[in-house]
Amino acid sequence: MDILVTTITGCQDILADEMRELGFKSFEVERGGVRLNGDLKDLYKLNYCLRTASKVLIQVYQGHIQTPEDISKKAYGVNWEDYFPVDTLFIVENSVNQNKQIKNDMIVNMLVKDGIVDRFRKKFNDRPSVSKDEFEIKVFAYILKNNMTLYLDSSGLPLYRRNYKQDLKFIAPIKEHLAAIILRHMEYNPGMKLIDPMCGSATILTEASLMASSTPPGYLRNFYSFLYFKNFDKEIFAEVKEEANSKITEIPQLFQGFDKDRYTIITMNNTVQHPIFQKSIQLDIKNIRKLDEDYSCENGLIFINPPYGKRLDTEKNLDLIYKDIGDKLKNNFKGNTAYILTGNLGMIKKIQLRSEKKIKIMNGPLECRLVKYSLF
């Protein structure tokens, strides 16, 4: 199989390092992902064990298109019946770049869908169903200029959907795979203590807990599109899970999170009551301004993702927030290393600490910086 593992643009080297740690040796790193040839066991392992990946795609077609109508013809030519049965719910998604003939990228979904449906109808006098809300199979069309690549998305849902935050009523500002990427940039190692004084949905803490306990990111997840592939092998998948799950270890309480919002902390406390988190994470309602040196830990890590001025606070409030963060770090967390993630680059200077490193990271469409401070 020709497999493309995707990640956040610019983070492909982090993904490649993680794949090497999992035992993958032969692959090519490209913008936004890693490409390799693999078998079913590789496919399942990539989906179940990768923390920094977005999705795992299987390439089924690549070729030239001259007109939008060619999209349907090329889709029709793929042997979809070899990949999934006719009684399947499927969905099509796309990414179109630098193609002036395609004015509305939704037309791509329709044309690919038509090609797939027409092929099944011709072969079996029946067709798979298309659903916007629920699906078993996802097809992804990538168009760059006059070239089209069609993929089967073996993950289905993005891999950052770890399935331990099902009941959240708010959008977490950091996705789980971004948190895993940040932790690798922070050079986090199992056994290190980690404090997040503005933890919100506690994504950094939960990801660190999974890493420290060697819990696979797919441990609580029960949906992958590959479960509905014709060649799905439940014995191989069980072997992959058993091998990964055998490395899970119990860890002490290493992670502390604080937030001034009572609802957020109460909600997240319900989430971290799951056995994989409840012994390692402590969350409390507290404003960062009220934290003192009693909460510090020698040679620990501090992570803060303050407001950017995009959602919660106006620009006039940000100056004080960032200055308070700098004062708190300088006076109460000596002996630790702090990392601040911000999408408001002008606010970095308000912290009034000398930075050791600035790393560019995309958080969705926002260009951010992860700034390192050694606190002496």
Q: What domains are there in the chain, each with its CATH number?
A: 2-153 (3.30.2130.30), 176-215+250-374 (3.40.50.150)
**Helix locations, the chain, DSSP H:** 12-21, 40-49, 68-76, 106-124, 176-185, 203-212, 234-245, 262-271, 315-332
Looking at residue 308, its pLDDT comes to 85
| Section 128-142 average pLDDT | 92
List 284's β-bridge partners, or say none. Answer: 258
Cα distance from N-terminal residue to C-terminal residue, the chain: 51
Average pLDDT over the chain reads 92
pLDDT at 313 over 50: no
The DSSP element (H or E) to which 337 belongs, if any, is strand 337-342
Distance between CA atoms of 206 and 93, rounded to whole angstroms?
30
- E-strand spans in 98-171? 129-130, 137-144, 147-153
| Section 129-139 average pLDDT | 90
The residue among 72 and 294 whose pLDDT is bigger is: 72
Q: Give the pLDDT band (50/70/90) at residue 289.
A: confident
Cβ contact 72:115 at 8 Å = yes
Distance between CA atoms of 48 and 306, rounded to whole angstroms?
31
DSSP letters spanning 52-68: S-SEEEEEEEEEE-SSH
Q: Which of 186-195, 242-251, 312-321 has the lowest mean pLDDT?
A: 312-321
The residue among 44 and 290 whose pLDDT is bigger is: 44
Mapping DSSP to helix (H, G, I), strand (E, B) and coil, where does residue 188 land? coil
The residue among 98 and 7 whose pLDDT is bigger is: 7
List 361's β-bridge partners, or say none. Answer: 368
The residue among 17 and 296 whose pLDDT is bigger is: 17
Distance between CA atoms of 118 and 124, rounded to whole angstroms?
10
Give the tens place of pLDDT for each residue, 167-221.
666 677 899 999 999 999 999 998 899 999 999 889 999 999 999 999 999 999 9
Cβ contact 160:175 at 8 Å = yes
Distance between CA atoms of 294 and 197, rounded to whole angstroms?
13
Give the tens place of pLDDT for each residue, 70-121.
999 999 999 999 999 999 999 999 998 888 888 888 999 999 999 999 999 9
| Section 290-294 average pLDDT | 72
Cβ contact 255:277 at 8 Å = no
Which residues are CB-neighbours of 124 under 8 A, at least 6 positions away?
81, 86
Which residues are CB-neighbours of 209 under 8 A, at least 6 positions away?
215, 251, 254, 255, 276, 277, 280, 281
Cβ contact 313:307 at 8 Å = yes
Looking at residue 195, its pLDDT comes to 94
Distance between CA atoms of 15 and 157, rounded to whole angstroms?
18
At 274, the amino acid letter reads H
Looking at residue 358, its pLDDT comes to 96
Mapping DSSP to helix (H, G, I), strand (E, B) and coil, where does residue 23 land? coil
Q: Which of 10-24, 161-175, 197-211, 328-342 has the lowest mean pLDDT?
A: 161-175
| Section 331-360 average pLDDT | 93
Q: Give the pLDDT band (50/70/90) at residue 295.
A: low
Looking at residue 315, its pLDDT comes to 58
Distance between CA atoms of 20 and 364, rounded to whole angstroms?
26
Distance between CA atoms of 321 and 308, rounded to whole angstroms?
10
The residue among 303 and 317 whose pLDDT is bigger is: 303
pLDDT at 166 over 90: no
